[in-house]
Amino acid sequence: GQNIDQPTEMTATEGAIVQINCTYQTSGFNGLFWYQQHAGEAPTFLSYNVLDGLEEKGRFSSFLSRSKGYSYLLLKELQMKDSASYLCALEDSNYQLIWGAGTKLIIKP
């Protein structure tokens, strides 16, 4: 199976840094996606990691370690608009996305 685990909810302060983890158990996958989903809206793409290491994109960075079975999304200089759910998804060998349940991030002033 490809169980994907994410914390259900996290709270952080405006201007701070937060790391959202995603752990998985799988024998193999093509890559790992992160999406953002504001309440009542559609998911939108944030990042895609194939190789181990850190991918930086503005205030958001995503990290993948295949050997350790985890990824994280790092959000810097948090803004109130970053309050959303963050979804981790693995692409399996059949190109199907297997999604985690998502982490609801609450930003406090």
Partner 1 sequence: TAGITQAPTSQILAAGRSMTLRCTQDMRHNAMYWYRQDLGLGLRLIHYSNTAGTTGKGEVPDGYSVSRANTDDFPLTLASAVPSQTSVYFCASSDKRGADTQYFGPGTRLTVL
- Residue 20 Cβ vs partner 1, minimum distance, rounded to whole Å: 14
Instruction: Identify which range of 10-18, 54-62, 71-79, 83-91 contacts partner 1 by CB under 8 A.
Output: 83-91
- Residue 109 Cβ vs partner 1, minimum distance, rounded to whole Å: 27
DSSP 12-62: EETTS-EEEEEEEE-S--SEEEEEEE-TTS--EEEEEE-SSEEEEETTEEE
**Structure tokens given for 47:** 């990042």
- Residue 14 Cβ vs partner 1, minimum distance, rounded to whole Å: 27
60 binds partner 1 (CB under 8 A): no
Q: Judge residue 53's burial from the number of C-beta atoms within 10 Å of its C-beta, 0-12 exposed, 13-18 middle, 19 or more buried.
A: exposed
Query: In the window 1-30, what residues touch partner 1 (CB under 8 A)?
Result: 4, 30
Of 74 and 98, CB closest to partner 1: 98
